[in-house]
Amino acid sequence: MRRDLQADVPEMVWPEGVEISTYRPELALAVHHLMQLGHREGGGRVPDLDTWQRRFESDPEYDPALCFIARDAEGVVGVVQCWTSSYIKNLVVHPRAQGRGLGRALLLNAFKTFQQRREGFVDLKVLEDNVRAQRLYESAGMYFVRRELVPA
């Protein structure tokens, strides 16, 4: 899916009691746990902590300033991991924080950040059967981009 960043991005409304920061290695365990939880519910898998952290922090497109972490009094409740190529790699919200607008706020925060970096578009992939995520992305102004496959 894609979002044109030339269009206005609505202001973020953060749920009460949620603080936003960027990724730091001391948050790795909590972020990894949330990623595992999110992938169990949305498909895919996350490797063990050491492998995940090594890959995450050494990826050529990794920038800790593009990984936004949402925390409340109980810990990490949301993460949006973006790459420098104006791509949203992961967006996960803890089940206890869902339905409060946190996913939308994280998404809009990523859009604003890429706008400030003067990007024209931001992209992400979503599974065809993940209708809940598709609705969120569409409500934030994203649209489907169909890939055309070239016959072999």
In the chain, the domains with their CATH numbers are 2-139 (3.40.630.30)
Could you give the dihedral angle defined by the CA atoms of residues 106, 111, 116 and 122, in that order, rounded to the nearest 10 degrees?
140
- Determine what percent of the chain falls in helix, strand and coil, rounding each to the nearest 5: 40, 20, 40
Whole-model pTM: value is 0.91
| Residue 17: pLDDT over 70 | yes
Question: Percent of the chain at pLDDT above 90?
Answer: 79
- H-helix segments, 8-64: 28-42, 49-58
Confirm if 85 and 119 have CB atoms less than 8 A apart.
no
Higher pLDDT, 34 or 42: 34
**Whole-angstrom distance, CA of residue 42 vs CA of residue 128:** 11
What pLDDT is attached to residue 41?
Answer: 67
